[in-house]
């Protein structure tokens, strides 16, 4: 599981950074990719990345401001031309369905794959045998949501030596045991999963927030997460400006990370007043003064999601 930032700027793109889009690569876990927000130019960023639209399975939109969704119509229209013919699910606040339907209808765009648009107002919005995705309302000028992605615990490793002693060779029996099914061997012995499986591997948690001021739902969404992605639009000297525009400072992002007990904080959504990476260093220093495991997101860089320590 890895995070890949396609856009880290707030409001408008700059020569240095594009507007918001974050990919969660889950190739090992389910051979797919999920996208969180899709600002203008996102598909161009994908072309310059190792990401493949053919692997795109789900898109989650945090809110309906243009710097978070104006890239959607183009990406949806051209996805099939890049090998993306599998079904795609799109989640977002109320209004996302009308935006997509009108954009595609007026442009007479043809989509030759199954597109399902799901509007939500928080709560558990997706669950299968591998992942749960929860959402909650934040504090922005319009309804903006954060997403908590929880990977369910995975089966432990098979004890290959013990299986060998029972004469079990690699094949379908391995799969059944990994799925928690008991199997009967040729000699009539029933082998149970707990006899040959190690301890379960704890699932990881990623929290990705939309634009927000400090809000009651931030810490519950982030509590215990291995990685928290939080906007840090301004230095704390502009805290009043941040409040006025319903955004957060690097200090406020770090305070949320510390209170929630996360493993790492990755800050994004930077004001265009901070141009080069060097100009983001003061934000990083402010955050690390409160929460040492803080990072500023760099575009076209992979961030592995590792289980937090302690």
Q: Is 247 annotated as a binding residue?
A: no
Structurally, how many domains does the chain consist of? 2
Q: Is 172 found in the same domain as 37? A: no
Prediction pTM value: 0.90
Bigger pLDDT: 197 vs 98: 98
Residue 63 labeled ligand binder: yes
Domain assignment of residue 213, given as a range: 2-153+205-304
Indicate whether 121 and 254 sit together in one domain.
yes
Which residues lie below 8 Å from residue 79, measured CB to CB, with a gap of 6+? Answer: 53, 56, 88, 111, 113
Q: Tokens in use for 218? A: 């931030």
pLDDT in tens, 200-228: 788 999 999 999 999 999 999 999 999 99
139 and 279 in a single domain? The answer is: yes
Average pLDDT over residues 115-124: 98
Write out the catalytic residue numbers: 67
- Both 103 and 246 in one domain: the answer is yes
Instruction: Write the pLDDT tens digit of every residue in 139-191.
Output: 999 999 999 999 998 877 877 877 777 777 787 888 787 777 788 887 778 88
Residue 67 annotated as lining a ligand binding site: yes
């Amino acid at each position: 599981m890895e995070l890949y930032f396609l856009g880290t700027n707030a409001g408008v793109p700059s020569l240095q950074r594009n507007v918001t889009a974050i990919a969660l690569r889950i190739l090992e876990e389910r051979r797919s990719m999920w996208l969180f927000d899709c600002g203008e130019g996102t598909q161009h960023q994908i072309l310059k990345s190792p990401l493949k639209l053919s692997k795109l399975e789900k898109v989650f939109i945090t809110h309906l401001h243009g710097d978070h969704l104006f890239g959607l119509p183009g990406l949806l229209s051209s996805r099939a031309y890049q090998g993306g013919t599998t079904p795609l699910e799109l989640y977002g606040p109320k209004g996302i369905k009308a935006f997509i339907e009108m954009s595609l209808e007026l442009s007479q765009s043809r989509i030759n794959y199954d597109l399902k648009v799901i509007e939500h107002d928080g709560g558990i919005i997706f669950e299968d045998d591998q992942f749960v995705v929860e959402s909650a309302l934040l504090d922005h000028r319009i309804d903006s949501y954060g997403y908590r992605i929880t990977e369910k615990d995975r089966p432990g490793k098979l004890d290959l030596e013990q299986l060998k002693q029972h004469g079990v060779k690699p094949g379908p029996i391995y799969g059944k045991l990994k799925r928690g099914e008991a199997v009967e061997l040729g000699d009539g012995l029933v082998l149970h999963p707990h006899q040959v499986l190690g301890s379960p591997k704890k699932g990881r948690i990623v929290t990705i927030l939309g634009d927000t001021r400090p809000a009651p739902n931030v810490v519950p969404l982030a509590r215990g997460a291995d990685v928290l992605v939080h906007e840090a639009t301004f230095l704390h000297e502009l805290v009043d400006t941040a409040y006025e525009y319903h955004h957060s400072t690097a200090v406020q992002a770090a305070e949320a990370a510390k209170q929630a007990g996360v493993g790492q904080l990755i800050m994004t959504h930077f004001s265009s007043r901070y141009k080069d990476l060097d100009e983001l260093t003061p934000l990083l220093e402010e955050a690390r003064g409160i929460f040492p495991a803080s990072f500023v997101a760099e575009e076209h860089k992979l961030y592995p999601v590792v289980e937090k320590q302690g």
